[in-house]
A and B are shown apart, each in its own frame.
Chain A
Amino acid sequence: MRERLESLRIDALRRVGEATGVEDLRAVEKDFLGKEGAVAEILGLIPTLAPMERREAGQGANQLKTTLLEAIAAAKAALEEAEVAAQRDAGGFDPTLQAAAAKRGGLHPITQVRRDVESIFTSMGYEILDGPEVELDYYNFQALNIPVDHPSREMQDTFYCDEDHTLVMRTQTSPVQIRAMERMTPPFRVIVPGRVFRNEEQDATHEHTFHQIEGLVVGEGIQVGHLTWTLKRFLNELFGRELEVRLRPGYFPFVEPGFELDVRCPFCETGCRVCSGSTWVEFCGCGLVHPNVLAAGFGEREDVDHEKLTGFAFGFGLDRLVMLRFGIDDIRNLMGGDLRFLEQFPC
């Protein structure tokens, strides 16, 4: 019996040693340790043996089982390690082979910059408002101190939606100033992002459809200095650096006094293409809200005494900010819907 066990042991260990895969090891386990394996067979013979031999055979078989299990486990570990090692050094490695392309999607660059602007203003406590793009002449012009036949209507090439000109494609986001005054209670601070329309010939720098951000602050004691301070803080935040601003006269019928606000060119120190060499970039039209506009907006409100109120308003173009940020040279790309353009701004 001892010989038999020894021969089984040698045989099994040889097969373990020769194993080239986990399957081989499983086969060894089955052949020797399985229900009908060699060890089981020996254990089955035990009752037929002499009592003296029984104990020896039992111990031998168990020992063989332990030895085999250990050998198989060790061989398995070695095989797995070899496999892992083989995987590590697979060879033929070329990281420049094109990656499996991930699908791309993204926000329009206008949306991206608009969100930046919105988050700066909301951090300063401004509410974001929306308004209709097809607007009543009343809101777009009349309530903004631009009566019918006012010469400043010439400044804005308006798309009219009907022959008697009661409905227009809004030429500015300013009509929402009036809509805000009609329902909000001062003091308040709002911005109004949105698309606006002017009947202009299109070229690389002119579009008939573009985007504006309107700002309106109404309260008691609002002064010119509040306007410059606010826009300076905004621009510093937007461009990430301290920038000087200046006011100069500008004419917009819905503000009095009215200004143009210039900002020191964020792109140069001594003059460049963006600022046409002047180091100043025209940023927006702004001013103190005209008393006629406050009267038009709050006039029907019994809870608001508009004579006590002052306010400031500003409006700037988003498209030019987008073009400056990304270096876009043709405004028409913005509305072109071409993926070769849109995919350049993943975000």
Chain B
Amino acid sequence: MLISTQWLARHVDLEGISPEELASELTLKTAEVEGLERFAEHLDQVVVGHVESRIAHPDADKLAICTVNVGKEEPLQIVCGAPNVDAGQNVAVAQVGTVLPGNFKIKKAKIRGVESRGMICSVRELELGEDHDGIWVLPEGLSAGESVSSALGLVDWVIEIDNKSLTHRPDLWGHRGIAAEVAAIFGRELKPLETSLPATGSGAGVEVSIEDPACTRYMGLCVDNVRVEASPQWLQLLLLAVGQRPLDLLVDISNFVMLDLGQPNHLFDLAELSAGVKVRMAVDGEEITTLDEEVRGLSPQDLLICSGNTPVALAGVMGGGASKVAEGTTSLLLEVASFDATTIRRTATRVGLRTESSARFEKSLDPCLVPKAAAHLVRTLQSIQPEVSLPAPATDVGDWSDPALTVELSGDRVRELLGVDLDDEDIISKLSALGFCIERDGTMMKVAVPSHRATKDITRAEDLVEEVGRLYGYDQIPGKRLIAEVAPPAKDARQLLVRKIQDRLAGGACFSEALCYSFQPDELLERLGVADEPRVRVVNPVAEGESSVRRSVVPSLLGRIELNRRHRDEVRLFEVGKGYLPEHTDERGQPREVHEAGLVLAARRDKSAAYNAGSRSRLQGVIEDLLRALGAYDSAPLTWRVAGEDDSIPGWANPGRSQVLVCGEGEDQRALCFLADLDPGRARPLGLVEELSSDVAAAWISLDVILSLPKASSSYRPLPKFPGAKVDVALALPLDVSCAGAEFELQRSGKGLVASMELFDVYEGTNVASGQRSLAWHLVLEAKDRTLDEGDVQKFLGRVERAAERLGGALRRES
């Protein structure tokens, strides 16, 4: 909201208070000031000129040559094209060198052969209005050469206040409300304002019927002998200062009262309301054309002002097109009303029309302000057009009540919360300055809250503590050490787990942590083949097709591969984040939250690489290392198995290359991790073709499952006392024997001697029977009680050989 200091000065004496000080004190004590600017600063450069003579231009019909005294020895010769320029006038002159709004610099010029040294300005050229029919004629009695701003007393500062910080203060949506704050802050008097209606005639007033309680008060007042004309300059300048375009006196004065007292109001052509005023809810399918010439469809929740049954205004939001006052009109109906805040807010939101009026009504305006605003409007109008009269008493109807209330406050509560040493007298004086009336009752104070503060804002003692505190100055409250029990704060296992995962992946594994949006675009989900999964959806997304809330972080990471592969041969990304499963919604309506670490690894394809150099194998290594570091292997037996139909393999995964790490057994078996190659059919949709063709693997690890594992016991094993024997074993085995299966047999054959096992080769081809592959390991055999010799190794190999044969393969001896 914009506040003009000139306007404020109508309500409170600002003598000796600089605009900067004013802005700073308002920020510290009332509401955030976002900007402070001089209004029409360029008028400092524009001077008053006295037109001494005007003669026709010899070579142009529409131009005149003027001699203009600008307070210097020599008058200026200025060529002017305005029809209304004449000798004897005071005018606004922009001299050579002056820069007008729009970076328009005045230069010496020759116009049709005649020299011109400056410009006589119109109102529009000075950005003071729309009028461009002629030059701006200034009042008489000004001295030539003085700047226009000082000659007209036009030194106005505009303070911009953050609307958000006024959300709870309906009383601050007008200059008088701000002026009351200024008066309290600086210890000055708020100037009195006449708020009683002038005498009215005894004619019949307008009939008003309220059919819905959403209109709490309606005052209709007939106003006669009005002329529609331009507003006086003071009014236009005040409106311009706060960014309002002056139109005509009636529109301007309506705006003026709204911006002055914060009470929206409306002036109707009385003839338009000949059938009497009815306030009612709209019916389904009803429409109204608002002043901005838009047709608005209405619902039964929208309140209407009607003439008879014909809508003339969308209550509290905007007048109807027909409600414009036509030129020549002399009889008006002034409407000042109170409406239910929620009704107005909903209508404004629903029809997408947030106006100055609706912004005020939705803050819960004081119904007691209604007659005051009506009186203020009429009296201001009469000060401009004294012949204006009121033929009939006001019609004032509605089921409203005075919101004023009394709140009990103890001085101790103030001191307790603010922690400052204010005695009761200080508290009372601060509250009084802000317009509260206090009656003491022992140690308690009965604080009467005036109606304009009581609609929503002040309802309890703590609200008054705020009033005292801010006027005292929050910045004056000293800091105070917080003294509390010394104990280590509880640590959340989940937070610690997240940290460990992040550190391990970002550290040893050299993955970069990404943070991706919780929303996943539909087109990405379609490209990944996961669009059919159930998802929480926002009903008002930022953009069409971005309403899906993620179930898993993996699709987001997959969506980032192409971008990164353009610049990197290898992409390693992870995110620890949350997903939501609407198919598991609890009784309160909250979807199940899953917490997971997502990983993707994408590298250039390399067909010649070793069996374990592919992305999935490498990612598996990273995952196993991570889980080892987290102690997961010590807490529960974890085994990889081929993912099957029960594992709900996501659309992005190659179903033939999907694996699940499971913990627990039987019914309790749960997937701790899912790992797969990207489905080859997804490469093209993801843009991973040609030079970006990539070997992509992705995985998720469930934090929830890790957290559910039993606490691991120590996994320490004493160091061997006797040296072990190293032996390499190569087995040729049928392709359907898994590596894990073979390793299980090796362990069994070792009878407890196998201390470590490292696969180092996988081979199919020459020297290996078709349908078989060769797997080779480095093994270390160790015994706890003796040094192993060649005989032990040979016995072991013998058992391995028999085991291999049982599996349909053979031990490969060095040839």
Residues of A within 8 A of B (CB): 103-108, 110-111, 115, 122, 125-130, 132-136, 149, 151-152, 154-155, 159-163, 166-167, 169, 187, 189, 195, 197, 199-202, 208-209, 217, 219, 221-226, 228-230, 232, 246-251, 253, 256-260, 288, 290-291, 310, 334-335, 337-340, 342-343, 347
Interface assignment of B648: CB less than 8 Å from any CB of chain A: no
Interface assignment of B513: CB less than 8 Å from any CB of chain A: yes
A253 contact set on B, CB distance < 8 A: 168
B417→A224 contact, CB < 8 A = yes
Residues of B482-499 contacting chain A, CB below 8 A:
482, 484-492, 494-495, 499
Q: Give Cα A158–Cα B465 distance, bound, in whole angstroms.
A: 31
Q: A232-B479, A249-B29, A288-B417 are in contact. Are A134 and B345 (CB under 8 A)?
A: no
B474→A249 contact, CB < 8 A = yes
Interface assignment of B538: CB less than 8 Å from any CB of chain A: yes
Q: Give Cα A163–Cα B549 distance, bound, in whole angstroms.
A: 16
Q: How far is the CB of A83 from chain B (nearest CB, A)?
A: 30
Q: A130-B495, A339-B571 are in contact. Are A249 and B563 (CB under 8 A)?
A: no
Q: A223-B416, A223-B480, A339-B568 are in contact. Are A128 and B492 (CB under 8 A)?
A: yes
A257→B470 contact, CB < 8 A = yes
B536 contact set on A, CB distance < 8 A: 134, 161, 167
A228 contact set on B, CB distance < 8 A: 477-480
Across chains A and B, the number of contacting residue pairs, with CB separation under 8 Å, is 234
B469 contact set on A, CB distance < 8 A: 224, 257
B362→A132 contact, CB < 8 A = no
B538→A160 contact, CB < 8 A = yes
25 A-B residue pairs with CB within 8 Å = A107-B513, A127-B492, A132-B590, A133-B593, A134-B580, A151-B363, A160-B538, A189-B489, A200-B542, A223-B416, A224-B469, A247-B477, A249-B28, A249-B30, A249-B474, A251-B166, A251-B167, A256-B463, A257-B462, A290-B462, A310-B416, A337-B564, A338-B563, A339-B564, A339-B567
Q: Give Cα A290–Cα B168 distance, bound, in whole angstroms.
A: 14
A225→B538 contact, CB < 8 A = no
Which B-chain residue is minimally distant from A169 (CB atoms)?
A: B538
* B541 interface neighbour in A159, A230, A260, Cβ under 8 Å: A159
Q: How far is the CB of A111 from chain B (nearest CB, A)?
A: 6
Q: Give Cα A214–Cα B505 distance, bound, in whole angstroms.
A: 27
Residues of B within 8 A of A (CB): 27-32, 164-169, 341-342, 345-346, 349, 362-363, 416-419, 460, 462-463, 465-466, 469-470, 474-475, 477-482, 484-492, 494-495, 499, 502-503, 505-507, 509-519, 536-542, 549, 556-557, 559-560, 563-564, 567-568, 571-573, 578, 580, 588-591, 593
Q: Which of B417, B481, B591 has the most CB of A within 10 A?
A: B417
* B479 interface neighbour in A197, A202, A229, Cβ under 8 Å: A229
Q: Give Cα A257–Cα B503 distance, bound, in whole angstroms.
A: 41
Q: A128-B495, A209-B517 are in contact. Are A257 and B465 (CB under 8 A)?
A: yes
B463 contact set on A, CB distance < 8 A: 256
B167 contact set on A, CB distance < 8 A: 151-152, 154-155, 251
Q: A224-B477, A247-B474 are in contact. Are A104 and B510 (CB under 8 A)?
A: yes
A149→B462 contact, CB < 8 A = no
Q: How far is the CB of B359 from chain A (nearest CB, A)?
A: 9
* B591 interface neighbour in A106, A134, A195, Cβ under 8 Å: A134
Q: How far is the CB of A101 from chain B (nearest CB, A)?
A: 11
A149→B342 contact, CB < 8 A = yes
Q: How far is the CB of B455 from chain A (nearest CB, A)?
A: 12
Q: How far is the CB of B211 from chain A (nearest CB, A)?
A: 22
Q: How far is the CB of B192 from chain A (nearest CB, A)?
A: 27
* A125 interface neighbour in B164, B484, B494, B540, Cβ under 8 Å: B484
Q: Give Cα A107–Cα B514 distance, bound, in whole angstroms.
A: 8
A151 contact set on B, CB distance < 8 A: 167, 341, 345, 362-363
A248 contact set on B, CB distance < 8 A: 27-29, 32, 474-475
Which 5 pairs of residues, A with B, have the shortest CB-CB distance?
A225-B480, A257-B466, A229-B479, A223-B419, A105-B510
A229→B481 contact, CB < 8 A = yes
Q: Give Cα A224–Cα B539 distance, bound, in whole angstroms.
A: 40
A155 contact set on B, CB distance < 8 A: 164, 167
B28 contact set on A, CB distance < 8 A: 246, 248-249
* A250 interface neighbour in B32, B491, B557, Cβ under 8 Å: B32
Q: A155-B164, A224-B419, A226-B482 are in contact. Are A258 and B539 (CB under 8 A)?
A: no
Q: Give Cα A247–Cα B477 distance, bound, in whole angstroms.
A: 9
Q: Give Cα A159–Cα B477 distance, bound, in whole angstroms.
A: 38
Q: Give Cα A261–Cα B473 distance, bound, in whole angstroms.
A: 13
Q: Give Cα A95–Cα B205 distance, bound, in whole angstroms.
A: 98
A129 contact set on B, CB distance < 8 A: 492
Q: Give Cα A237–Cα B560 distance, bound, in whole angstroms.
A: 36
A223→B417 contact, CB < 8 A = yes
A229→B571 contact, CB < 8 A = no
Q: Give Cα A250–Cα B166 distance, bound, in whole angstroms.
A: 9
Q: How far is the CB of B769 from chain A (nearest CB, A)?
A: 40
Q: How far is the CB of B51 from chain A (nearest CB, A)?
A: 43
B478 contact set on A, CB distance < 8 A: 225, 228
A199 contact set on B, CB distance < 8 A: 540-542
A340→B345 contact, CB < 8 A = no
A256 contact set on B, CB distance < 8 A: 462-463, 465-466
Q: Give Cα A224–Cα B589 distance, bound, in whole angstroms.
A: 37
Q: Which of A163, A195, A202 has the most CB of B within 10 A?
A: A195
A111→B502 contact, CB < 8 A = yes
Q: Give Cα A132–Cα B478 distance, bound, in whole angstroms.
A: 36
B480 contact set on A, CB distance < 8 A: 223, 225-226, 228-229
Q: How far is the CB of A207 from chain B (nearest CB, A)?
A: 9
